[in-house]
Amino acid sequence: MPLQHIPPRGIPLHGEEPFIGTEGATILDFWRYACPDLKTNTTRGLLAEFLVHRAVGAQQRNQEWESFDVLTADGLRIEVKSSAYLQAWSQREVTKIVFDRLRTRTWSPQNGDGAEPSFNADVYVFALHTATSHEDYDPLDVGQWQFYVVPSPVIRAKGTKSLALNSVRALAGDPVPYSGLAARIRAADPRATEVPGRRE
């Protein structure tokens, strides 16, 4: 059955747009409500995706249902996993770093859920915020992030749903700062050596 309800691509908002029927509430007010703290797990994950998106010059944000996070202009699919030692809540000790959900089910409006979980990106970026004290934590300083980049064939060969930081380091080698992230991602692009048409 053909799709009947196809939404147009959203127009980027600037923050000054008002909510009709409210007393002066704007999109900026909503953003301040929804994302007041860049340490929260959900927002930090979006921030990591944003940094990768900017680094590779992606043109548009992916739809929420896509099975990977960032798509470059030439079709490179990037999955971004983020973690941090510090959280938005009180802790007895810093967080043990584990990146999970490496393998997920695909979904599409036409076909619904995929039959089995799969690895759905060409390159995996593991983004780690390195601050270990709240006094030092600055979410606006990209120098506090480390990025580990791994080609998808390496992730597939491991076959696991999650990876601890030591395992990521063993697969990726040294982390790269934000200034070198785009080049490292391009260097990890496996498509030049993949069999044409092979997708998992």
pLDDT digit string, tens, across residues 171-185:
999 999 999 999 999
- Average pLDDT of the residues of the chain: 91
pLDDT tens sequence across 15-58: 999 999 999 999 999 999 999 999 999 999 999 999 999 999 99
Cβ neighbours around 194 below 10 Å, total: 14
* Of 65-74, 145-154, 165-174, the least confident: 65-74
| Predicted pLDDT of residue 55 | 98
Cβ neighbours around 40 below 10 Å, total: 15
How far from the centroid of its chain's Cα atoms is residue 105's Cα?
16
Q: What is the pLDDT averaged over residues 94-108?
A: 91
What are the chain's domains? 37-187 (3.40.210)
Alpha helices, DSSP H only, in 36-188?
Answer: 41-55, 152-158, 165-172, 181-187
Bridge partners, residue 81, by sequence: 126
Question: Is residue 198 over pLDDT 90?
Answer: no
> Using 50, 70 and 90 to split pLDDT, how confident is the model at 71?
very high
Distances 180 to 50, 56, 58, 86, 176 between C-alpha atoms, Å: 16, 10, 16, 24, 6
